[in-house]
Amino acid sequence: MKNVRTAILILVVLFIAGCSQDQAVNSSKAEQEESVDVNEQLNVELILPEKAKVGESIEIKALVTQGNEAVDDAHEVVFEIWKEEEKDHSEMMDYTEYEEGYYSIKISLDEPGVYHIQSHVTARGMHIMPVKQVVIEEE
C-alpha cells in the first residue's frame, strides 16, 4: 500500500510539473509574439518611377513590412496624389492590388508637372505616411 501511495504521489508531482512547464513555454511564446508586434517598427517603402509621360500608366506600390516579414493585414492603405502647390485638390485612392507585402495602384496623369504621392498606411496599431514625387513630362 505504501508503494502505491508513493507511486501515485510521484505521478501527481510529475503531472503538475509537466503542466507548469507547458504554461511557462506557452507564456514565453506569447511574450515573444507580443514583443515582435510591439517592438518592431512598421516600415513602408513607397515605390514609383521618378519620371513618366503624360497619359502613361504608372504603378505606385507601398511595400509594408514589420521586421523581416511582409504585412498582409494592413487595416488601411490609401494613396494621396496632388500636383505641386495644389495639396488642397488632392485625390485619395485605395489600393487595388496586393501581392506579398506590396499594396499597389495604377494611374495615369494627364497634365505635365511635379506630382506628390503620399501613402497612408495603418497597420498593427501604427500609421505611416511616406511621400515621394514623380515628374510628368510632355510627350
What band does 35 get if pLDDT is binned at 50, 70 and 90?
Answer: very low
Residue 127 has pLDDT above 70, yes or no: yes
Residue 36 has pLDDT above 50, yes or no: no
Domain regions of the chain by residue span: 1-39, 42-137
Instruction: State residue 92's pLDDT score.
Output: 97
- pTM score, whole prediction: 0.71
Mean pLDDT of 33-48: 75
Instruction: State residue 40's pLDDT score.
Output: 86
For 71-126, write each residue's pLDDT tens digit: 999 999 999 999 999 999 999 999 999 999 999 999 999 999 999 999 999 999 99
- Label the pairing between strands 57-66 and 69-70: antiparallel
- For the domain made up of 42-137, give the CATH fold: Immunoglobulin-like (2.60.40)
Q: How far apart are CA 126 and CA 124, in angstroms?
A: 6
* E runs forming strands in the chain: 42-47, 51-53, 57-66, 69-70, 76-83, 91-94, 97-99, 102-108, 113-123, 126-128, 131-137
What band does 26 get if pLDDT is binned at 50, 70 and 90?
Answer: low
Instruction: State residue 19's pLDDT score.
Output: 57
